[in-house]
Chain A
Amino acid sequence: MLLSKAAIGSKVKVVSLESKGLLRRRMMDLGLIPDSEIEVIRESPLGDPRAYGIKGSQIALRREEASQIVVEVVN
């Protein structure tokens, strides 16, 4: 599943990153590395971007960025 499709309030785990180069590096710097847990916290009033809880901080990502991250739901 893609992170951009994960339901609000759900907890997911990063499987892999599809982006390349600098963007990939930036995503990883934010803590989006395989196996790390992400909470889908909220969406903005217009639905995009959405805020994610990543390693203790709340980071907003646009759909374009979030759809490059493959995740799986954690129970």
Chain B
Amino acid sequence: MGLTCESCSRGVLKKKFNLRCGEKFVIALAGNPNVGKSTVFNELTGLKQHTGNWPGKTVVNARGNYRYEDMEFVLMDLPGTYSLLASSVEEQVARDFICFGQPDVTIVVVDGTCLERNLNLVLQVMELTHNVVVCVNLIDEAERKGIFIDIKALEEELGVPVVGTIAREGVGLEELKRRVLNVALNIENLNPKKISYSKPVEDAIKGIEPEIDRILKGKLNSRWVALRLIDGDNTIVNSIYEHIYDKKTLEIEGEEVLVNA
């Protein structure tokens, strides 16, 4: 299991994100815009998909199922984003799902033709959850552009499974499903690359992380929350309120709370 969100009540969250899944594995699908994420989604789920909106947002949400090795997987298509730093509603939705929806595995689809830009998102997702599988899509297009990616080396660098795919032609998707299952069953050797920040950032983290850790009591990765607060991102505080301190229970208590806006 991921090291984040360990003890939040999953049942409530699943209801919030419209998941009804019993014993199924929940897989999140993240990626930059225009990387063929929806192709991967369609190829994996076929026509078994539902679309709707994210709770309380006008952002579209697609959800589909697939079976592999006699196990059911629910695939959530997250909005295409360049980062998870919550500068737009889409980014916030994607971040909140990975953080609070606790998917068993998060697939990050990246564009083989511009790996560097896409790795930015991969590294950010890996800060949030360790259960990541990277899907390097459009490798045929990359090769046509003269770009060759050493998948094995990338896997070693990132410390999570990496699969090369040509989603339009279905190439590599079997392998992708296999690695996703492995991660879900916890039998992959994960050693995710950690971003080491420059000294001033690390010092700032050290300054507030212990206190945050005391408050959150392991409910979330405190280093990551500290980074977001240093980043001046207030939306995370709202999200924590929304997802961990469930609003309804508080109202029953008759407490009025002013959420930091």
Within the complex, which residue of B82, B85, B113, B116 is in contact with A30, where a contact is CB–CB below 8 Å? B82
Are B114 and A29 touching (Cβ within 8 A)?
Answer: no
Residues of B within 8 A of A26 (CB): 87-88
Residues of B within 8 A of A30 (CB): 82
Number of A-B contacts (CB under 8 A): 25
Decide if the interface of chain B is mainly helix, strand, loop or mixed. Answer: helix
Total A residues in contact with B, Cβ cutoff 8 Å: 10
Residues of B within 8 A of A56 (CB): 113-117
The contact sample of 8 A-B pairs, CB cut-off 8 A, is A25-B87, A29-B87, A30-B82, A31-B117, A54-B117, A55-B117, A56-B113, A57-B114
Residue A46 at the B interface, CB < 8 A?
A: no
Closest to B112 in A: A56
Q: Report the interface size class on chain B.
A: 10 to 19
Given contacts A29-B82, A30-B82, contact A22 B116 (CB under 8 A): no
Residues of A within 8 A of B114 (CB): 55-57
Would you give the shortest CB distance from A24 to chain B, in whole angstroms? 9
Residue B165 at the A interface, CB < 8 A?
A: no
Give bound CA distance, A54 to B82, whole Å. Answer: 13
